[in-house]
A = this chain, B = another copy of it.
Amino acid sequence: MSESDLLARIIPMFGESRYAGSGVVVPPGDDAAVLATSGSVVVTTDSMVRGRDWRDDWSSGHDVGLKVVAQNVSDVAAMGAVPTGLLVAVAADPETELDWVLDLTRGIADAAEDAGCPVVGGDLSSAPSGVVIVAVTAFGDLQGRAPVLRSGASPGDVVAVSGSLGWSGAGLSLYAGGVRDPISDRTRGRHLGAADAAASLLMWFHRSPRPPFESGPVAADAGATSMIDISDGLVRDGARIAAASGVELALDEEVLRSQFLAGPVDLAVGARAGWREVLSGGEEHSLLATFPPGGVPEDPHAPWTVIGEVVAPGPDGPRLTVGGAVPSVTGWDHFAG
């Protein structure tokens, strides 16, 4: 199948009708696309590599498409912006099964529609045997808001999370432990216990997280002083806010345990492993933000849970603490990992 034949199958899946009413001034098909903006554009890129960022025996093409869009949309949201468009660059072994590529395309298109940001272009390259890499670039619009950086947290602010903690990491640990998703063709119809249901939920979330991206602009409108997408774990990403802002993020262990460990994570992997995932599990794509006292918004999309406070740095400088101590766990390193 030639590049143009394949593109002729793929491009209609992104749906020309989706450009109606969007900010797409020039849709795919020319040298470049053109998006309407309100004075600035938010840009970010994130890639997934077969065998590193997903395994074909765990994730479908559709899962990969959902996830690579989620990762990018979440970064846009963490600036306080709404997603407005995507570019997709795929480098694939020409022997890759067409059905898989079409399934990936459907996943990208579904996630793009959910986030309201059409796919406005892309690139298709042939890659060595077995290789599939999907690189997505996302665009966002601040709609007049100031961008919410990592560097604006001040002592006295409260720390809050929109979305879950530890779900993706716990789901990954189940896969890594050889667990088969309890909800599968083989088990359909069978009654699931609470632990099985929790495990299935977390494994599903690991395959295809759905970030609370609507909460980004809500937080910005509420006056969030800093915000980050939790992609490398709460401890590692929270420490980035601490370092950029020159503060200490003092997190409340009891709140984290009762609000995030209790429930599916504890049920599925137990308290010891679950606590590690709440603190350091990657690829969660929840939002971590700081707000002035009393400024945590009522968010119609996903509740913000207050998990700590911002305090002046002690003698050890900017850092993140949980229950007063620096946690021993860290988080993900995509390149070493």
* Docked complex Cα distance between A88 and B89 (Å): 12
Q: Is A76 an interface residue (CB 8 A)?
A: yes
Partner of A43, one of B79, B87, B91: B87
Known: A149-B26, A336-B3. A125 touches B53 (CB 8 A): yes
Looking at A57-65, A139-147, A311-319, the stretch in contact with chain B turns out to be A139-147
**Docked-complex contact A125 and B120, CB < 8 angstroms:** no
**Docked-complex contact B3 and A47, CB < 8 angstroms:** no
Q: Is A192 an interface residue (CB 8 A)?
A: no
* Closest residue on chain B to residue A78 by CB atoms: B31
Q: Is A150 an interface residue (CB 8 A)?
A: yes
Q: Which residues of B contact A48 (CB under 8 A)?
A: 125
Partner of A76, one of B32, B35, B51, B229: B32
* Docked complex Cα distance between A41 and B131 (Å): 32
**Docked-complex contact B34 and A37, CB < 8 angstroms:** no
* Docked complex Cα distance between A333 and B6 (Å): 11
Q: Is A214 an interface residue (CB 8 A)?
A: no
**Docked-complex contact B128 and A75, CB < 8 angstroms:** no
Q: Which residues of B contact A52 (CB under 8 A)?
A: 125-128
Q: Which residues of B contact A51 (CB under 8 A)?
A: 128
Known: A34-B40, A34-B142, A34-B147. A91 touches B47 (CB 8 A): yes
**Docked-complex contact A335 and B133, CB < 8 angstroms:** no
Q: Which residues of B contact A333 (CB under 8 A)?
A: 2-4
Q: Is A116 an interface residue (CB 8 A)?
A: no
**Docked-complex contact A85 and B125, CB < 8 angstroms:** no
**Docked-complex contact A336 and B91, CB < 8 angstroms:** no
**Docked-complex contact A85 and B31, CB < 8 angstroms:** no
Interface string of A207-218 (1 = CB under 8 A from B): 000000000000
Listed in ascending order, the chain A residues whose CB lies under 8 Å from chain B are 1-4, 6, 25-26, 29-37, 39-49, 51-53, 74-76, 78-79, 81, 85, 87-89, 91, 94, 120-128, 130-131, 133, 135, 137-140, 142, 147, 149-150, 227-229, 244, 333-337
